[in-house]
Structure 1
Amino acid sequence: MKITRVESIPFSIPYRKPLHFASGEVYAAEHVLVRVHTDDGVVGVAEAPPRPYTYGETQRGIVAVIEDVFAAQLQGLTLLEREQVGARLARTIGNPTAKSAIDMAMWDALGKTLKLPVSELLGGYTDRMRVSHMLGFDEPTTMVAEAQRMLDTYGISTFKVKVGRSPAKLDTAVVRALREHFGDTIELYVDGNRGWTAAESARAMREMSDLGLLFAEELCPADDVLGRRWLVGQLDIPFIADESVPTPADVTREILGGSATAINIKTARTGFTQSMRVHHLAEGLGVEMVLGNQIDGQIGTACAVAFGTAFKATSSYAGELSNFLDMSDDLLTEPLQIRDGYLQRSSCPGLGIEVDEDKLEHYRTDR
């Protein structure tokens, strides 16, 4: 089970329409396919989705750090030496999605080697998760129509609404339109991507206090320490920390400091090994967890559902597992299928997915 090679392949797949939110916009899935090869001939795969507006990573940067730094450091280690792998990767600051993709590809290779699904290796709690769909910035009628399409086509009834525009009434009007159209048949929560100030967030949440929201996520920046604590202290729903908690230490700081009361776990950001640490820490602190999405493609979504189904806490709420539906194509031989509002994880060894080599050849950007 020794690692012989770590491969990084950049690819680009257009979105059907641009995705807009407070911290930026995305027009194509310019991601990196990561492969970990072993001396047994097993190949593990994962996906690294760079988010320069959030973590500073770019597609070219991910490829460069894997090829120029990480690959040589990991050669010769086994798939079981995760602590050693983590220690060597930690020598390089930042680069969370590059590190996470390597970690998840190792778990995929380990599952294939042992002939067991990754989800069962992690915890094996359930085999499916309810799906939440993200609604990006648009007019109320357009966003209501998209939500209706998701409900009619895929059975999705939980929606994460992107907010954070100024004036805030642009967003509160959208959330109200969704609630008025669907009534209590859907679940709603909001994500500001740090777009509002604490005061703007407080006013917006008061305007939406009658709409039965599940959560509020990253409405204002975490580095406005006093303002965020002030905001969280007056909310009567959980406040989710997302991009402000990329490490277990950040989780501890935000929760104990009163700047959040719930946690968003994203495997694209913390892989499987670090995500387990975040999960166990949050569980020990008694805070709720949601499974997030970094606008992953189907490979990344397969990783997310493998982790989410492994634990009771991460499968208690609908997970953000539908962003791949906005892509014009993807890389898997057998596409993921959302049915009746659920996504089922594979029961095959590893992640249970296979990359279509012809599609990869078509969409890769390094040739």
Structure 2
Amino acid sequence: MKIAKVEAIPFAIPYAKPLRFASGEVRTAEHVLVRVHTDEGVVGTAEAPPRPFTYGETQESIIAVIQKVFAPQILGLSPLSREVVHQRLDRTVGNPTAKAAIDMALWDILGQYAAMPVSGLLGGYSDGMRVSHMVGFAPVDEMVAEAGRIRGTYGITTFKVKVGRRPYTDDVVACRALREALGPDVSLYIDGNRGWTPSEAARALREMEDLDLTFAEELCPADDVLGRRWLVARSPLPFIADESATKPAEVTRELLGGSATAISIKTARTGFTASQRVLHECVGLGVEVVMGNQIDGQIGTLCTVAFGAAHLASARHPGELSNFLDMTDDLLSEPLTIEGGTLRVREGNGLGIQIDSDKLARYRQDR
């Protein structure tokens, strides 16, 4: 079986409401559907979500690099030759979500060919994950109302609160209101998306000491090297590296340099192959991981839960698996459902991705 064709199809689906955070906002899911075809008719599918304010990729750049650079380098290879595929893709710097989508599509092919679910091939630890929901910037009453609605409707009891605004006291007020409204049985953690200076972050954390936060994530830019180390050394909270730890070498740098004490794994940027390398590195160092969200649609969320549920270490904490709920539609024939605060792995061979052809025709942007 050989790789015969690689498709990169742009599509756009509006959000019911924008997700706002310190480094930008997203109003429309302008993603790329990636399909890897084999000469035996097996097709692997994944999704590449461009985040120009984080990784520099755009919908147009993902399509261009796949069509003009990546596809010609991997045509004719076996889907089993993942090391060769990655060696060739990594000749080109950057472009993490384009590379990740190709990797996950190859795993989808392998699962279908072996008549096994990808989650089982990866590790098979569990058939689902508890869900964490991200709460973006909004007036405080709206943030509280959203969290209450999500808990009441889907049974979700873990929330990641976006912070990083100025003045930082706005976020302190919001987190305090969420804790008071949701009570002590709900887990809260914060994500600054690099929005604060170390001194602002330190003051904010002092003022939220009584809120029983679980984690703090990327409160300051990775370039604030000494400031991040100073902050992490003085905080009782585990500090999650996310945008600053996009590949194994960066994970090593952040952890051994004292700039983080936990890692966010996002399959949208490291696929399954590199995500396993990051996960195994963290397990070996005794470092906790969480499954992050790239503001994925349902395809990307399905990939995240397939990986997260496959391993003990990644299934330990709730995964960020619910932001597709803010989209007005999606491409899957059978939508994902969250019940009792849990999202199950899709049954079937491969990743279990079935695209609704009518929806794809409606939302694709290349015709």
Q: TM-score, normalised by structure 1?
A: 0.99
Q: What does residue 121 of structure 1 align with?
A: 121
Alpha-carbon distance in 2 for matches of 1:3, 1:29: 28
Task: State the SS of the aligned residue for 1:31.
Answer: strand
Query: Structure 1 counterpart of 2:36, which letter?
Result: V
Q: How does 1:85-164 map to 2 (within 5 A)?
A: 85-164=85-164
Q: What does residue 257 of structure 1 align with?
A: 257
Alpha-carbon distance in 2 for matches of 1:358, 1:113: 26
Q: How does 1:149-188 map to 2 (within 5 A)?
A: 149-188=149-188
Task: State the SS of the aligned residue for 1:54.
Answer: coil
Task: Give 1:232 shift.
Answer: 0.2
Task: State the SS of the aligned residue for 2:92.
Answer: coil
Q: Is the counterpart of residue 312 in structure 1 residue 312 in structure 2?
A: yes
Q: How does 1:282-361 map to 2 (within 5 A)?
A: 282-361=282-361
Alpha-carbon distance in 1 for matches of 2:134, 2:70: 33
- String of CA shifts for 1:323-346, please: whole Å, max 9, x gaps: 100100000000000000000001
Task: Give 1:19 shift.
Answer: 1.1
Query: Structure 2 counterpart of 1:320, which letter?
Result: E
Q: What does residue 83 of structure 1 align with?
A: 83
Alpha-carbon distance in 2 for matches of 1:127, 1:109: 20
Q: How many residues align?
A: 367
Moved over 2 A (4+): none
Q: What does residue 212 of structure 1 align with?
A: 212
Alpha-carbon distance in 2 for matches of 1:136, 1:91: 36
RMSD: 0.5
Alpha-carbon distance in 2 for matches of 1:2, 1:122: 22
- String of CA shifts for 1:155-180, please: whole Å, max 9, x gaps: 11100000000000111111100111
Query: Structure 2 counterpart of 1:56, which letter?
Result: G
Task: State the SS of the aligned residue for 1:185.
Answer: coil
Task: State the SS of the aligned residue for 1:313.
Answer: helix
Task: Give 1:131 shift.
Answer: 0.2
- String of CA shifts for 1:84-122, please: whole Å, max 9, x gaps: 000000011100000000000010111011110000000
Alpha-carbon distance in 2 for matches of 1:157, 1:207: 23
Alpha-carbon distance in 1 for matches of 2:115, 2:331: 23
Alpha-carbon distance in 1 for matches of 2:184, 2:2: 53
Query: Structure 2 counterpart of 1:322, which letter?
Result: S
Task: Give 1:183 shift.
Answer: 1.3
Task: Give 1:237 shift.
Answer: 1.2
Task: State the SS of the aligned residue for 1:78.
Answer: coil
- String of CA shifts for 1:336-360, please: whole Å, max 9, x gaps: 0000000000121011120001100
- String of CA shifts for 1:106-154, please: whole Å, max 9, x gaps: 1011101111000000000000100000000011111010001101111
Alpha-carbon distance in 1 for matches of 2:23, 2:79: 36
Identity over aligned pairs, percent: 68
Task: State the SS of the aligned residue for 2:226.
Answer: helix
Task: State the SS of the aligned residue for 1:184.
Answer: coil
Alpha-carbon distance in 1 for matches of 2:298, 2:135: 18
Alpha-carbon distance in 1 for matches of 2:260, 2:141: 32
- String of CA shifts for 1:175-209, please: whole Å, max 9, x gaps: 10011111112100000000000000000000101
Q: TM-score, normalised by structure 2?
A: 0.99
Alpha-carbon distance in 1 for matches of 2:237, 2:194: 18
- String of CA shifts for 1:33-85, please: whole Å, max 9, x gaps: 00000111000000000000000000000000000111111101011100000
Alpha-carbon distance in 1 for matches of 2:245, 2:182: 33
Q: Is the counterpart of residue 24 in structure 1 residue 63 in structure 2?
A: no
Task: Give 1:18 shift.
Answer: 1.1
Alpha-carbon distance in 1 for matches of 2:93, 2:353: 31
